[in-house]
């Protein structure tokens, strides 16, 4: 199958393996993001047409260079520029880590994390809608249960694109999840409440009553106000969207139990911090708490947490 290829140069330092690993929660696959055999893959949609981007590293942390291969849009004008824009957003290639690294110097928590994972950038979801649906799926349940629901929802409703006998799927469109109805969503192991939340959001987006992508133009305060008006959205979800879907610098889901537990292990030798204590302690890291969030969770999921704190 025909394809187009080009190179993309991230801002150094940039560790492709760590960043792509964080995008997939160090599980090879998370949602529609795939990172296997050193190659990051994701199905994208442009003007109703599907294309597969494959990204690999041909540089190093201090002189990073990514090779991007696109299948599906090779005959379309501006396909390369669109793919480059999407990959840059998804893999955070344009992020300047310098201010965060200055903040980390001498910090008893951040210093070891940055030393263990230099060049980790913040990966992002393809859209605010995708990030919101993923966050709702993960609310107040185990990681394994959320993984099953993500897989079922994507396999059932995600657009499919077959290449060389392999079927890739994109994230479900709002109109498809809206069309499934609450009963249809419940057949994918969603609770009635989660199904109602996801259907309501999808229906409002599909009907153009809810403009999630427009939030990118709003202040953090206005984003928070608008999102909290949506049924099923709380502060935990808002802060994850600030970090993963809106590209903001200071998101920090302080009520996340894993985050409270991580900081408790470091600061109190095992006793978890309360959400209020976690928030208060985090203020010293503002306005770069999105990086802090990313590094803490990447360290926990990849195994760097143990090595950086012992």
- pTM tops 0.85, yes or no: yes
pLDDT at 308: 47
Give yes or no: residues 64 and 141 share one domain.
no
Whether the predicted pLDDT of 310 surpasses 70: no
Residues 65 and 156 occupy one common structural domain: no
| pLDDT tens-digit map of 184-239 | 999 999 999 999 999 999 999 999 999 999 999 999 999 999 999 999 999 999 99
Tokens linked to 195: 């199904």
pLDDT confidence band for 75 (50 / 70 / 90) = low
Q: What confidence score (pLDDT) does residue 74 get?
A: 66
Domain residues for the domain of 101 are 95-120+247-310
Q: Say whether pLDDT at 78 is over 80.
A: no
Q: How many domains does the chain have?
A: 3
Same domain for 173 and 78: no
How many other β-carbons are positioned within 10 Å of the β-carbon of residue 266?
A: 18
One domain, residues 73 and 143: no
CATH number of the CATH domain containing 147: 1.10.340.30
Q: Summarize the confidence of residues 245-269 as an average pLDDT.
A: 94
Residues 107 and 183 reside in one and the same domain: no
CATH of the domain at 24: 3.30.310.20
Whether 233 and 282 share a structural domain? no
**208 and 268 share a domain?**
no
pLDDT band at 140 (very low <50, low <70, confident <90, very high): confident
251 and 113 in one domain? yes
Mean pLDDT, range 20-28, rounded to an integer: 96
């Amino acid at each position: 199958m025909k394809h187009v290829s080009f190179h993309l140069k991230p801002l150094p330092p940039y560790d492709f393996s760590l960043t792509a690993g964080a995008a997939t929660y160090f599980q090879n696959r998370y949602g529609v993001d795939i990172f296997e055999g050193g190659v990051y893959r994701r199905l994208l949609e442009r003007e109703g047409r599907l294309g597969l981007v494959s990204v690999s590293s041909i540089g190093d942390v201090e002189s990073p260079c990514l090779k991007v291969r696109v299948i599906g849009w090779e005959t379309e004008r501006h396909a390369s520029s669109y793919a480059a824009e999407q990959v840059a957003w998804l893999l955070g290639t344009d992020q300047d880590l310098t201010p965060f690294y200055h903040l980390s110097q001498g910090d008893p928590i951040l210093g070891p994390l940055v030393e263990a994972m230099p060049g980790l950038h913040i990966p992002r979801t393809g859209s605010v809608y995708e990030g919101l649906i993923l966050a709702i799926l993960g609310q107040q349940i185990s990681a394994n249960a959320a993984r099953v629901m993500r897989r079922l929802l994507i396999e059932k409703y995600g657009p499919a694109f077959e290449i060389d006998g392999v079927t890739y799927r994109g994230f479900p469109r709002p109109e498809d999840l809206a069309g499934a109805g609450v009963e249809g969503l419940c057949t994918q192991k969603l609770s009635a409440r989660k199904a109602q939340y996801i259907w309501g959001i999808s229906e409002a987006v599909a009907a153009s009553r809810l403009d999630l992508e427009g939030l990118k133009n709003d202040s953090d305060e206005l984003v928070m106000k608008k999102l909290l008006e949506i049924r099923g959205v709380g502060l935990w979800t808002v802060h994850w969207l600030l970090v993963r879907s809106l590209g903001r610098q200071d998101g920090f889901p302080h009520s996340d139990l894993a985050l409270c537990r991580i900081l408790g292990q470091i600061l109190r030798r095992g006793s978890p911090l309360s959400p209020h204590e976690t928030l208060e302690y985090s203020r010293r890291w503002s306005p770069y708490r999105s990086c802090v969030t990313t590094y803490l969770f990447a360290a926990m999921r990849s195994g760097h947490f143990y090595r950086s704190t012992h």
